[in-house]
Amino acid sequence: MAVPTAHRDQAPDPQSGLAARQAIRSGRHRGPTSGLAPGYVQGNLVILPKDVAADFQRFCELNPKPCPLIGTAVPGDWRIPALGEDLDIRTDIPRYRVWKHGELVAEPDNLNEVWRDDLVSFIIGCSFSFEEALMADGIEIRHIACGCNVPMYRTSVATAASGAFHGPMVVSMRPMSPADAIRAIEITARFPAVHGAPVHIGKPEQIGIRDLAKPDYGDAVPVGDDEIPVFWACGVTPQSVIAAAKPAFCITHYPGSMLVTDRKNSEFAVT
């Protein structure tokens, strides 16, 4: 008796990373990727010409907390097989930003017009992964509860420089009760590939943050007197560093429009 078999052209699980990328590629999904493919890792994109790519890769390796590299492509290649079956970095993100000498020059829906054979793609882990683990433990994520962006701050903490890439670390902040802060440290320490444990707690002024109500990126969120601000190294750091380095050419994702991968958040937990 014949047993039904899976076909190569069978539609993927609609909640999978592959289905999300197919929806984006075909134009069926536009806009932010938050909430797409629950449980799958989303990543920040940086694309640089080969002549500065090695310096940037070393920058990431020197600064693994703000810049946890989860995937790198071969120069000129739009595929990143380690992160997804049938992945095409030119088409699988809803919106991109193209930069020349530090100036934003375009925000296209795909990279078909601007792709070059000398471009190297880097994918950097994102806090969506650890936020899922925190919420699964019952911890409230304030900016999600408030329906806004996470507040982010430029700090007085310098990153380790590599070539033209240098500048301050950017952190994201989530206010929590002391008990939740302890749990959050325990949980995020298990996710080194997506920023890992916090870099600071409780004393904003020690890392050069003067006013929690005035973030440099994202939105301010309320912090209760009974709460502690908890600071994680943030994936906006490489964008801030690239803006200062002003490379001749660069592509990043449009804020909030991430690469959805085939990797599961749970795979990124170390035991």
Residue 197 makes contact with its own copies by CB under 8 A: yes
> Which of 5, 10, 26, 271 contacts its own copies by CB under 8 A?
271
CB of 227 to its own copies, least distance (A): 9
> Which of 106, 135, 145, 189 contacts its own copies by CB under 8 A?
189
Closer residue to its own copies (CB): 166 or 183: 183
CB of 186 to its own copies, least distance (A): 5
Closer residue to its own copies (CB): 47 or 176: 176
Query: Per CB under 8 A, which region of 88-96, 197-205, 212-220, 244-252 contacts its own copies?
Result: 197-205
> Which of 82, 182, 243, 269 contacts its own copies by CB under 8 A?
182
All residues at 6 or more sequence positions from 250 whose CB lies less than 8 Å from its CB, including other chains: 46, 47, 48, 98, 99, 100, 242
> Which of 30, 101, 116, 203 contacts its own copies by CB under 8 A?
203
Residue 206 makes contact with its own copies by CB under 8 A: yes
Query: Per CB under 8 A, which region of 23-31, 36-44, 125-133, 196-204 contacts its own copies?
Result: 196-204
Per-residue tokens: 62: 């020197």
CA–CA distance, 132 with 157 (Å, rounded to integer)? 27
First to last CA, the chain: 44
Asked if 83 and 262 count as a contact pair (C-beta separation under 8 A), the reply is: yes
> Which of 17, 198, 235, 238 contacts its own copies by CB under 8 A?
198
Residue 134 makes contact with its own copies by CB under 8 A: no
Residue 117 makes contact with its own copies by CB under 8 A: no
> Which of 144, 185, 212, 269 contacts its own copies by CB under 8 A?
185
Closer residue to its own copies (CB): 113 or 225: 225
Query: Per CB under 8 A, which region of 7-15, 77-85, 99-107, 173-181 contacts its own copies?
Result: 173-181
Binding site for its own copies (CB under 8 A): 178-179, 181-182, 185-186, 189, 197-203, 206, 226, 228, 271
